Amino acid sequence: MTAGHKITIEQGTDHVRVVREGQVVAETRRPLLLRETGYPVRYYLPPEDVRTGLLTPSDTTTYCPFKGTASYWSLPGAEDGKDAVWAYPEPKDAVAEIKDHFCFYEVEAAE
């Protein structure tokens, strides 16, 4: 990490649900909470708790110097679902816990 930049990851117990056009795409009570300097908390969901058959792989990739190269997926339906999901198949060692976990731009805490 560079000076002033910090990433922490902790095991969460929040009930997290991702719903798209009335359909549950992901639901878990075991998200990883990733906190990164300058960004909102992100929930990384275990692959077993994501309905990956509802995701469309994208050719998009991005590189983060702290986490590695991210692969993207799109959600079904409207254009705002394009590249709305990402994961790090080979994350940097400092964030190895997030390997293959899915992160969604839009999540809601469920009751």
Q: Where are the domains of the chain?
A: 7-109
**Tens-place pLDDT, residues 32-71:** 999 999 999 999 999 999 999 999 999 999 999 999 999 9
Q: Is residue 108 predicted with pLDDT exceeding 80?
A: no
Bridge-based pairing of strands 32-36 and 85-87 is unpaired
Q: Which two tokens stand for residue 68?
A: 């590695």
For the full predicted model, state whether its pTM sits above 0.85. Answer: yes
Q: Which two tokens stand for residue 104?
A: 């969604």
pLDDT value of position 20: 82
C-alpha angle 39-41-42 in degrees, rounded to nearest 5: 100
Q: What is the CATH number of domain 7-109?
A: 2.170.150.40
**Tens-place pLDDT, residues 64-104:** 999 999 999 998 775 677 888 999 999 999 999 999 999 99
pLDDT value of position 19: 86
The average pLDDT across 10-36 equals: 92
Q: Is residue 21 predicted with pLDDT exceeding 90?
A: no
**Cβ neighbour number for residue 56 with a 10 Å cutoff:** 14
Q: Is residue 2 predicted with pLDDT exceeding 70?
A: no
